[in-house]
Amino acid sequence: MKKVIAYRKSIAATGCGRFFPNALIIALIITAAACSTDKKTGSVEGVNQLREFALQDVTLLDGPFRESLDINLEYLLSLEPDRFLSTFRMNAGLPSLADPYGGWEAPDIEIRGQSAGHYLSALAKKYAITGDQRLLKRGAYTVDELAKCQKALDSRGYLMAVPESFFDRLESGDYVWAPYYVFHKILAGMIDQYIYAGNSQALGVAEDMAAWVEYRTSKLSPEEIQAMLDTEYGGMADAFAILYTVTGNEKHLALAELFQHDIINVPLSLNKDALLGKHTNTQVPKLTAAARMYELTNDPYYKRIALNGYNYIVNGRIYSFGGFSNYEWILRPPHYLSDQLSVETAETCCTHNLLKLNHHLMTWFADPAYGDYYERALVNHILSSHDRETGMFGYYMPQRPGSWKIYSTPDSSFWCCVGSGMENPAEFGRSIYYHMDDKLYVNLFIASRLVWEEKGVELSQYTGFPASEGSLLELKMRRPRSFTLSVRVPWWTFGEFSVKVNGDPVESRMLPSSWLAIERRWRDGDRVEIEFPFSLHVERMADDPSLLSVMNGPLVLAADLGNEGISDEHIYLQNQRGMHRYRGPDIVIPQLLMDGRSIEECIVPAGGLSGVFRTDGAGSPEDFMLRPYYEFRRNRYQLYLRQADYTHMPQPWDFE
């Protein structure tokens, strides 16, 4: 550990306090604010070029995203708070009022209690966007009952469904399943209840929880703290940074600093890939926390961590549908994925967390490339992981040929991806629009209505995306307003993108992955028609170009291999690793024989089926159908296809 601290000190550029041992940093922050910036405003270099809208400013309209939100709302309302509370009450010595849930919430599971935190966050965020009083009441009841548990435990603010001895095991180096990870979910849920539902009691619970962490960690040396951080701890640093923005209490910022993991952060700050060989979802929240810390402190150390971490993942480690990780780990260097097609690829929590980081980076740089990735992952992974028929959630997006999607059960799974899945639909409106001064940015094509209250403008976006290839924007305002409307031109348009304002074409060079800026004096009733025709294209594996993924515009297509031998008992499971137990009957895994033809010649639209394609003499041993990956529910699929007649030619990405 001393070596790590010395290493960190050696790269300090300003001596602003960031590179001292953590315990000393806490003392410095609490007693003085030398070389600090305006932490409350976040006025730092390169930050907040764009501003986000509040969740309640954006309403989803009819379409698959609204459908996902609605079924998710039904599921949330079907859950019983007392069943989440059961293990908390047991731990606090209070009588339980209901049987606990199963799966990861069962009384014998060491991370029990984490779903209650996700539940609180989901209730609060969905209340903010719907105003549904049922959500508010359930959240208030759960907070109040957890506050009673916290009081009954009488341990300086401790609140968990497991005994405090779990943290003794953590600090002594004995194995324990991620107690701070669970603590974070509960803490974040309380903070969200305050921010989005206005629950002041929840803020008090969160502050008491922070006081317990301060007391608990004050007894540890910097070396002991760093050793403790080797165990997954979720978004503890991010939660404390958010709590600081709410309370202004310097102790909360100090706690955010305390949960900075040097063994990951220091190499990333030096442009070194510290992610190889690491558990994926343990690392991504650290990057988001670094982004928020940069916004609060103006320390470029944090900026480098966030940017490098993001780039080491997105530039070479994502599958075509935007997910990443295999068996929950980062097992290969960038651009080596051809042997990473298993039944446990792309944990959904990882993408959930990376999109949080993406949101920060978009506000910093206003770079449409961040919108391009967000769209790819949101449509092809996040939307794809939610069964809009039952409301259940997917843990992995399996990529072994012939796999199918596995979803949770209503009350006996409660994996981590069920928790983040409960929150995902409430976040759909978050990155559709941004604003900055007199500029309004349309980043995503999702049917929605925006109220830009500051300017007295209402914008409605009507689109069937991702099933349709265009969008209509309609503006309402009491009086004319001058502002610039900037529309993202996606990477997949390849020059086929057109815009009309009130029927008149906009003459501009519309390069892929750019902003189309329309500056004018807008009036009530103005209409902006956007057309973005999809076209077929392929993405090849860098380390094995004979493996390719077929895309139609932004949509990843997968070969439909039918559902022989697959029933609900193989799809809706308590165990997220259920596919290991049952593979089903042997099926033919198809290949492509392109014979020198283009992808458009080999794959053609399937007559009468919108968005569905078929091979035209290019399937081996026979032709097959391809459908958008996000639409698959019960059928087997093959997303990466082998081009059997591929003749390898040297590519820029080839490695020795």
All domains in the chain, ordered by first residue? 79-259 (no CATH), 433-468+470-531 (2.60.40)
Is the pLDDT assigned to residue 33 strictly greater than 60? no
- Look at residue 18 and tell me whether its pLDDT is greater than 50: no
Strand order in the sheet with 457-462: 58-60, 448-452, 457-462, 470-477, 527-531, 498-501, 504-505
Q: What is the pLDDT of residues 437-455, one digit of tens each?
A: 999 999 999 999 999 999 9
User: Which residues, including other chains, have CB under 8 Å from residue 435's CB and lie 6 or more apart?
Assistant: 50, 51, 53, 441, 452, 454
Are the CB atoms for 288 and 361 separated by under 8 Å? no
Query: Kindly report the CA angle at 582 between 578 and 585, in degrees rounded to 5?
Result: 150
Contact 308, 286 (CB under 8 A): no
Confidence of residue 583 (pLDDT cuts 50, 70, 90): confident
Per DSSP, 174 falls in state: -
Through-space distance between the first and last CA atoms of the chain, rounded to whole angstroms: 35
Q: Are 456 and 480 in contact (CB under 8 A)?
A: no
Tokens at residue 634, please? 């019960």
pLDDT for residue 340 is more than 80: yes
In the prediction, which pLDDT does 14 show? 34
For the residues 362-373, what does the mean pLDDT come to?
Answer: 97
The secondary structure of residue 433, as a DSSP letter, is E
What is the C-alpha separation between 257 and 525, in angstroms, rounded? Answer: 50
pLDDT of 654 strictly over 80? no
Q: Over the range 253-275, which residues count as b (16 or more CB within 10 Å of their CB) and which as e? A: bbbbbbbbbbebbbbbbbeebbb
Answer whether residue 401 shows pLDDT above 50: yes
Rounded to two decimals, the pTM is 0.92
Among candidates 418, 378, 401, which has minimal Cα distance to 102?
A: 418
* 247: Cα separation from own chain's centroid: 26
Assess whether the previous peptide bond of 466 is cis (omega < 30° from 0): yes
**Sole residue written with tokens 């009468």:** 608
Q: Tens digits of per-residue pLDDT, 128-162?
A: 999 999 999 999 999 999 999 999 998 899 999 99
pLDDT band at 578 (very low <50, low <70, confident <90, very high): confident
Give the SS3 label for residue 263. Answer: helix
Query: Quick one: pLDDT at residue 46?
Result: 61
Going by C-alpha positions, the residue among 166, 169, 174, 158 that lies closest to residue 213 is: 158
pLDDT of the residue at 155: 84
- Residue 416 in contact with residue 27, Cβ under 8 Å? no
The predicted pLDDT at position 428 comes to 97
Average pLDDT for 117-131: 98
What pLDDT does 648 receive? 62
**DSSP, residue by residue, 333-349:** -TT--TT---TTB--HH
Q: At what angle do helices 280-297 and 236-247 cross, to 10 degrees?
A: 30
pLDDT score of 297 more than 80? yes
Q: pLDDT of 466-511, one tens digit each?
A: 999 999 999 999 999 999 999 999 999 998 999 999 999 998 888 9
> Three-class SS of residue 267?
helix
Instruction: Give mean pLDDT, residues 523-530.
Output: 98
Residue 27 binned pLDDT confidence (cut-offs 50, 70, 90): very low
User: Which value, in Å, is the radius of gyration of the alpha carbons in the chain?
Assistant: 25
pLDDT band per the 50, 70, 90 thresholds, residue 63: very high
What local confidence, expressed as pLDDT, does residue 116 receive?
98
How far is Cα 247 from Cα 470, in angstroms, rounded to an integer? 44
Q: Given this model, what pLDDT does residue 576 score?
A: 86
C-beta pairs of 448-451 under 8 Å, 24+ apart in sequence: 448/58, 448/59, 448/60, 448/61, 449/58, 449/59, 449/61, 450/53, 450/57, 450/58, 451/57, 451/58
Per-residue confidence (pLDDT) for residue 607, from 0 to 100 = 85
Q: How far apart are CA 169 and CA 273, in angstroms?
A: 30
Per-residue confidence band for 582, with pLDDT thresholds at 50, 70 and 90: confident
Residue (of 495, 502, 436) closest to 474 by Cα position: 502
Please give the pLDDT value at position 44.
Answer: 64
Residue 40 has pLDDT above 60, yes or no: no
* Residue, of 27 and 185, whose pLDDT is higher: 185
Name every residue whose Cβ is closer than 8 Å to that of residue 2 and which is 6 or more positions away in sequence. Answer: 223
d(CA 379, CA 624): 23
Distance CA 233, CA 144 (A): 25
- Alpha carbon distances (Å) from 99 to 123, 268, 315, 541: 21, 45, 46, 48
Supply the mean pLDDT for the chain.
Answer: 91
- 444 and 432 in contact (C-beta within 8 Å)? yes
Q: What is residue 31's predicted lDDT score, i.e. its pLDDT?
A: 27
